[in-house]
Amino acid sequence: MDKHSINSNASHDSKGHETRDANIRAITIFGLVLAGLILATFISMNLLTGFFSKEKKSPAKISILADSTKDFPEPRLQVLPVQDLQKIRKEEEVWLSSYGWVDRQAGVVHMPIEDAMQILVEKFSAGDYPHPPPKIRGRVGVNQKETA
């Protein structure tokens, strides 16, 4: 059988286009309906925008939460954290380098760290301290032996 003999029954002489694939009437109706929906949406959005803009112009009650003049309850955000830290460190430095009462009735005072260390060294060296000094456990030096 020859290759050309298979298609010999089909008619190749007709010229034109296929009429069954695209339904022009359905496509046109769909396009018109789509254009109508777009136009209806545009008109309704314009009407709603006009309605809500008129409503916004009327005086409204201000919410309690919208009042920015009131202070928020604690805890608040730090506005100036660097300055706050400097202030705290300065107050701690004043506390650690001065004398004062912590509890007057109990006889508890605070004093500068250097002075407190000097007093402890004098008490330990004189043997006047009521308790023996604590044993230091940890890293032992090269020429030292750990005492248990």
pLDDT 10s digits, 112-139: 988 988 888 888 787 666 666 566 565 5
How many domains does the chain fold into?
2
Domain that includes residue 106, residue range = 81-126
Q: Model pTM?
A: 0.33
142 falls within a domain: no
What's the rounded Cα separation, in Å, for the pair 144 and 137?
12
Residue-level length of the chain: 148
Residue with tokens 């456990």: 137
Residues 85 and 122 occupy one common structural domain: yes
Return the structure tokens found at 59. Answer: 């005086």
Cα angle: 126, vertex 132, 147; to 5 degrees? 110
Q: Which amino acid is at 5?
A: S
pLDDT, one tens digit per residue, over 25-59 is 999 999 999 999 999 999 999 999 888 877 655 55
